[in-house]
């Protein structure tokens, strides 16, 4: 016999909201999923601006041929830290922030399954980020080896490399704790009636992402630990002189690294799968196929790693295997793109800022995916490997894809989180400026890459100057546009118009249909029963 049916269960305003603490201690001790989500999102924005500032230094140096502003060593440190900070400090935490805010509300749970562990997963991050930044001030500076931390160069770096290794370990720990929490929450705390195949797609994409993280993170931890023991404890895992193999590092790194691409992309797909149906005023087309496509992408991501390594030498059969496996990923990805377009087809579309960013994502991510197909072909990749074509490709996928999905998500849920509406006109300005400048930055890099400009160099022949100048102007514009984003968010929080309970009429997940705006500090303490 059932005990309780409570559709709202948010009558706990009489509780102490913040565990008896206020000010900074409230944020340090909080175990509330909404607080922790907010912390993740602000942290990721700070890291986004930090990594972005490094990108500005890179583009400033590349504005003209010759060495103008920084020496080559520092340039390499900038490219390395830009990559590490953007991947591990900005994009991943941003989507964990979304997960923290949304998963409990979307499945009708009161909080994450392990609330204290949730607090620890976040508070590890600032220490890890500090280690990365402090490495610049160590003798020899930060590592200048590229974000892939390839051996044997890593063995030659100064103490900054050790700090980076420690930071990677901490970031990995945080991710694993977060993943275990997300898996347990989604599987065990769903409200009665919220079957797996009724969950919002955002929850599905995060469930699968958490699996990817759990499977891939020990591999990265092992790789950087072997680098550490090669540096300090006399092992020769990656040193050919001692019987080791530097190519082994590449295999290990990319076995983690390629799933990492989807660790970033899948939650972005989840956000887009919430936004597009809401502004199309239609249910997501092909929900089940979206779930299966996401799973297929996740499984395939583990068998394509060596497409990053065609040039290190491998048997033709190996090249063929990785080439076909990589092109195969286009099938489930194509299913997703088709379903998003089919969702919009004959929908009652409106183009508020979240939808603009979602459509921007759709175009630009697809473009990045297409250049990925080009690069998956071994014969072509051998020509384009380590050129700016590759830089353009992964920035379209990871930078534009993930960041645009992040913006779409922030604009979409900001009214629900804060109870305040953002300035729609400014939001649209942000979208158009970002879209124009990001394409100016990265589209031309296809041309310089096709012409043979290698990546990770501070100087280049005169023939590449025009494309680099254009790219740098685009980068400065994109960087400045993000200050507008900060202003929009702060303005909304301080003086935005009051948002409605269901700000977007097409939104149909529990946070919109069952919770008021802004959401109370405690929600779904008694779980709703879904018919």
Footprint of another protein on this chain (CB under 8 A)?
1-12, 113-114, 176-177, 180, 183-184, 187-192, 194, 211, 214-215, 217-219, 221-223, 225-226, 229, 237, 244-245, 248, 251-252, 255, 302, 501, 513-514, 516, 525-527
147 is catalytic: yes
Q: How far is the CB of 8 from another protein (least distance, A)?
A: 4
Residue 507 phi, psi (nearest 5): -75, 135
Of the two residues 178 and 427, which places its CB atom closer to another protein in the complex? 178
Complete DSSP assignment for 165-223: HHHHHHHHHHHHHHHHHHHHHHHH-PPTT--GGGS-HHHHHHHHHHHHHHHHHHHHHHH
Instruction: Please list, in sequence order, all residues whose beta carbon lies within 8 angstroms of the beta carbon of residue 439, skipping any fewer than 6 positions away.
Output: 364, 474
461: number of Cβ within 10 Å: 10
Q: How many helices (H) and strands (E) does the chain have?
A: 19, 2
514 is catalytic: no
Catalytic hit among 10, 82, 420, 514? 82
481 is catalytic: no
Q: Which of 106, 204, 181 is nearest to 530 (CA)?
A: 106
455 is catalytic: yes
61 is catalytic: no
- Torsion on CA atoms 461, 466, 470, 475, rounded to nearest 10: 10
Of the two residues 33 and 82, which places its CB atom closer to another protein in the complex? 33
Instruction: Please list, in sequence order, all residues whose beta carbon lies within 8 angstroms of the beta carbon of residue 492, skipping any fewer than 6 positions away.
Output: 414, 418, 420, 421, 422, 423
292 is catalytic: no
251 is catalytic: no
Catalytic hit among 308, 393, 395, 514? 308
Q: How far is the CB of 305 from another protein (least distance, A)?
A: 11
Q: How far is the CB of 159 from another protein (least distance, A)?
A: 21
522 is catalytic: no
Of the two residues 81 and 226, which places its CB atom closer to another protein in the complex? 226
500 is catalytic: no
288: number of Cβ within 10 Å: 8
> Angle 403-418/92-107 helices, nearest 10 degrees?
40
Of the two residues 58 and 228, which places its CB atom closer to another protein in the complex? 228
Catalytic hit among 169, 258, 395, 430? 258
Q: How far is the CB of 322 from another protein (least distance, A)?
A: 16
Catalytic hit among 333, 366, 376, 526? 333
Catalytic hit among 35, 61, 260, 352? 260
12 is catalytic: no
Do the beta carbons of residue 169 and residue 87 sit within 8 Å? no
Q: How far is the CB of 191 from another protein (least distance, A)?
A: 7
Q: How far is the CB of 460 from another protein (least distance, A)?
A: 36
Of the two residues 258 and 430, which places its CB atom closer to another protein in the complex? 258
- CA dist list (Å): 282 to 107, 268, 345: 20, 20, 9
Q: Which residues pair with 352 in a beta bridge?
A: none
Q: Which residues have a catalytic role annotated? A: 82, 111, 147, 174-175, 258, 260, 262, 273, 307-308, 333, 336, 455
């Amino acid at each position: 016999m059932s005990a309780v049916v409570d559709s709202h269960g948010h009558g706990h305003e009489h509780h102490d909201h913040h565990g008896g603490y206020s000010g900074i201690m409230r944020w340090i001790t909080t175990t509330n999923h909404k607080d922790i989500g907010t912390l993740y999102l602000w942290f990721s924005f700070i890291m986004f601006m930090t990594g972005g500032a490094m990108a500005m230094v890179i583009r400033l140096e590349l504005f003209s041929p010759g060495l103008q502003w920084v020496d080559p060593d520092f340039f390499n440190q900038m490219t390395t830290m830009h990559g590490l900070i953007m991947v591990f400090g900005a994009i991943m935490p941003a989507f964990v922030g979304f997960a923290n805010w949304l998963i409990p509300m979307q499945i009708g749970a009161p909080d994450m399954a392990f609330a204290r562990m949730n607090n620890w997963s976040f508070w590890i991050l600032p220490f890890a980020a500090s280690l990365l930044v402090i490495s610049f001030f160590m003798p020899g500076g930060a590592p200048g080896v590229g974000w892939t931390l390839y051996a044997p160069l890593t063995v030659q770096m100064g103490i900054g490399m050790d700090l980076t290794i420690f930071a990677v370990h901490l970031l990995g720990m945080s991710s694993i704790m977060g993943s275990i929490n997300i898996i347990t929450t989604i599987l065990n705390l769903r409200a009665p009636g919220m079957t797996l195949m009724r969950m919002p797609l955002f929850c599905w994409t995060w469930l699968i992402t958490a699996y990817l993280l759990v499977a891939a993170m020990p591999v990265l931890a092992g790789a950087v630990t072997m680098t550490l023991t090669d540096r300090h404890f006399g092992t020769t895992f990656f040193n050919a002189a001692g019987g080791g193999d530097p190519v082994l590092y590449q295999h290990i790194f990319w076995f983690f690294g390629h799933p990492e691409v989807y660790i970033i992309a899948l939650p972005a797909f989840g956000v887009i799968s919430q936004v597009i149906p809401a502004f199309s005023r239609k249910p997501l087309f092909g929900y089940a196929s979206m779930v299966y496509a996401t799973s297929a992408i996740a499984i395939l991501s583990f068998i394509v790693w060596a497409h990053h390594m065609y040039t290190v030498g491998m048997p033709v059969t190996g090249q063929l295997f990785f080439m076909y496996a990589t092109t195969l990923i286009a099938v489930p990805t194509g299913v997703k793109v088709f379903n998003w377009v089919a969702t919009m087809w004959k929908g009652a579309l409106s183009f508020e800022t979240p939808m603009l960013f979602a459509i921007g994502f759709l175009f630009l991510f697809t473009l990045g995916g297409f250049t990925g197909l080009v690069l998956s072909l071994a014969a072509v990749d051998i020509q384009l490997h380590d050129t700016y074509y590759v830089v353009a490709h992964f920035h379209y996928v990871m930078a534009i894809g993930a960041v645009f999905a992040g913006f779409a998500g922030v604009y979409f849920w900001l009214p629900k989180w804060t109870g305040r509406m953002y300035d729609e006109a400014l939001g649209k300005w942000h979208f158009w400026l970002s879209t124009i400048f990001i394409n100016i930055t990265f589209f031309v890099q296809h041309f310089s890459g096709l012409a043979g400009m290698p990546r990770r160099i501070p100087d280049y022949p005169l023939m590449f100057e025009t494309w680099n100048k254009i790219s740098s102007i685009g980068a400065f514009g994109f960087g400045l546009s993000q200050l507008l984003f900060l202003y929009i968010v702060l303005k909304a929080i301080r003086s935005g118009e009051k948002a409605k309970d269901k700000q977007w009429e097409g939104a149909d997940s529990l946070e919109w249909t069952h919770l008021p705006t802004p959401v109370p500090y405690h929600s779904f303490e008694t779980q709703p029963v879904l018919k």
